[in-house]
Amino acid sequence: MARKLSMKDAINEALDQEMSRDPTVIVMGEDIVGGSGSPGENDAWGGVLGVTKGLYAKHGDRLMDTPLSESAYIGAAIGASTCGLRPVAELMFLDFMGVCFDQIFNQAAKFRYMFGGKAETPVTIRAMVGAGFRAAAQHSQMLTPIFTHIPGLKVVCASNAYDAKGLLIQSIRDNDPVIFCEHKNLYGHETDVPEESYTIPFAEANIVREGGDATIVGYGLIVHRAQEAADTLAKEGIDCEIVDLRTLSPIDIDSVVESVENTGRLVCVDEANPRCSIAADITATVSQQAFGALKAAPQLVTAPHTPVPFSPALEDIYIPSAASIADAVRKTMAP
């Protein structure tokens, strides 16, 4: 049975169901319960945007508020994951990775390899990503490329509530460290979400729209912008295929290649900054694997090489718009 659920509630439901199913799942982060030690209510916040609200009432002290100490508690979650727990740690904003990145990229990512295959690090790190929230430069980045670059990490970024629930459950059950990115501007976005527990495999992109003229590749908020662009282009007689990557590491590059072999045109869209972006990564790989199929040069549409601006006037032109995506498609169609 499906019903409409927001992405925020879908994430909440995924955590709830996994905690009910597996007693080794614990959830920790700053203010994820909220009110710890305070005289007011417990579960005062349930997360800074309320994503984890209500879980404390059901699962009690398996939800743990943490002090402002990312190195310590992200590291503790990682360490605990090698010792029989299955922690879900929240790094409130992925922008905060700087204060704990060593634990993620030098420790969690490398245990399995450095220890000759003898370690398992089944930790999930949830973090908010993305711009459009007027949260300014240090709370709005799309840092997915940095984590995708690191061998040993998996990186997930859903574009909708249905995918979010399935991918989060998959992330928690996965025995490798997963960075689960939640676009803060999609928390309110609703889709049909089944009540029962389900998983979505990694490295399985979703073709959210079929079309024979051009392939648009994106993830997260961009998928919705791409849909808008495709709607506009359809009126011009251009049929776009949209590939929602869903997971960046591992990545379903085969689906992209297959699509490009059909359409011959590639437009990679990314909310991340342009240098070493996911867009650049896919463009290079697809060019190498499907060069012969390309009818036009691939196009990249990314944020500019700047920090995220504060003023709404600027932030709104920072994120790739439907118009800029449509322009890029038209470029590939030009004779």
Partner 1 sequence: MNDVFPLGKEDLLKAYRTMKTIREFEERLHVDFGRGDIPGFVHLYAGEEAAATGIMMHLNDKDRIASTHRGHGHCIAKGVDINAMMGEIYGKSTGACHGKGGSMHIADLSKGMMGANGILGAGSPLACGAALAAQKLGHGGIGMSFTGDGASNQGTFLESLNLAAIWNLPMVFVVENNGYAESTSVDYATAVDSYVDRAAGFGVPGVTVDGTDFFAVHEAAGEVIRRAREGGGPSLLECKMIRFFGHFEGDAQTYRAEGETEDNRSNRDCLKQFRARVTEAGVIDAGALDAIDGEVMAAIDNAVEQAIAAPLPGAADLTTDVYVSY
- List residues binding partner 1 (CB under 8 A): 24, 26, 62, 64, 66-67, 69, 71-85, 87, 102-103, 106-107, 110-120, 151-152, 154, 174-176, 203, 250
75: left (phi over 0), alpha (psi -120 to 50) or beta: alpha
Q: For residues 156 and 180, what is the distance between their CA atoms, to the nearest angstrom?
A: 5
The one-letter amino acid at 170? Q
Whether cis (ω within 30° of 0) applies to the bond prior to 250 is: yes
189 is an active site residue:
no
Tell how strand 124-129 and strand 178-183 pair up: parallel
Q: Which is nearer to partner 1, 23 or 188 (CB)?
A: 23
Question: Which is catalytic among the residues 139, 183, 189, 224?
Answer: 139
Distance CA 93, CA 137 (A): 12
For partner 1, give the closer residue by CB, 29 or 87.
87
Residue closer to partner 1 (CB basis): 7 or 78? 78
- How many CB atoms within 10 Å of residue 67? 9
The Cα–Cα gap between 268 and 218 comes to: 6
Residue (of 323, 303, 305) closest to 315 by Cα position: 303
Q: How far is the CB of 267 from partner 1 (least distance, A)?
A: 27
Tell me if residue 301 falls in helix, strand or coil: strand
Rounded alpha-carbon distances, angstroms, from residue 109 to 150, 153, 202, 262, 289: 7, 5, 17, 36, 28
Nearer to partner 1, 3 or 118 (CB): 118
Question: CA-to-CA distance for 158 and 182, rounded, in angstroms?
Answer: 7
- Looking at the Cβ atoms of 238 and 282, the one nearer to partner 1 is 282
Active site residues: 139
